[in-house]
Structure 1
Amino acid sequence: MRLTIFWERMAEHFGPAYADSFAHDHVMTQLGGRTVHEALAAGWDAKDVWRAVCDAMGVPAENR
């Protein structure tokens, strides 16, 4: 998954204003105790980060 698609999906699910705030502030156990930004900076694949967000936040299957 390209980062542009990842951020589009984040904005679609959380809203454009909250997506970055969530990605910056929300520490997720699914990401090894990292935020979305930290996981991406550490080299995690955007697809794996998106799956972790979906699992943690209950994103409906049709929006994954």
Structure 2
Amino acid sequence: MRYRELTDLVDDVLGPVQGRLLLDELVLGELGGRTGAVALADGEDPRAVWHALCDELGIPDARRWGSDPHRQAPPRRADR
């Protein structure tokens, strides 16, 4: 997953305002107590950030990939 795909999903699934706020301010245990924005700045894979954000918010798998029926869910990394 690329950064642009992450931001598209954040906007689609969480809303452009709330989603960006959550990415910037929600501390995620799966990311070592960092926010998504800090983790991305530290070089974390955007896919790991997206999964951590969805896990923390309880987003079900069926909603994680937004409204585009052709968008394919990127697999989780084996170590997550």
Partner residue, 2:4: 4
The structure richer in helix per residue is 1
Partner residue, 1:60: 60
Instruction: State the identity as a percent.
Output: 36
Unaligned stretches of 5+ residues in structure 1: none
Unaligned stretches of 5+ residues in structure 2: 65-80
- With structure 1 as the length reference, what TM-score do the two structures score? 0.90
Partner residue, 2:42: 42
Matched residues in 2 for 1:14 and 1:21: separation? 10
Measured against aligned partners, the alpha-carbon deviations of 1:3-61 in whole angstroms (never above 9, x if no partner) come to: 11101111112111111111111111111000010000011000111111111111111
Matched residues in 2 for 1:10 and 1:22: separation? 9
Instruction: State the superposition RMSD in angstroms.
Output: 1.0
Runs (4+) of structure 1 moved beyond 3 Å?
none
Partner residue, 1:29: 29
Partner residue, 2:17: 17
Aligned residues: 64
Secondary structure of the corresponding residue to residue 27 of structure 2: coil
Q: Quick one: which amino acid aligns to residue 14 of structure 1?
A: L
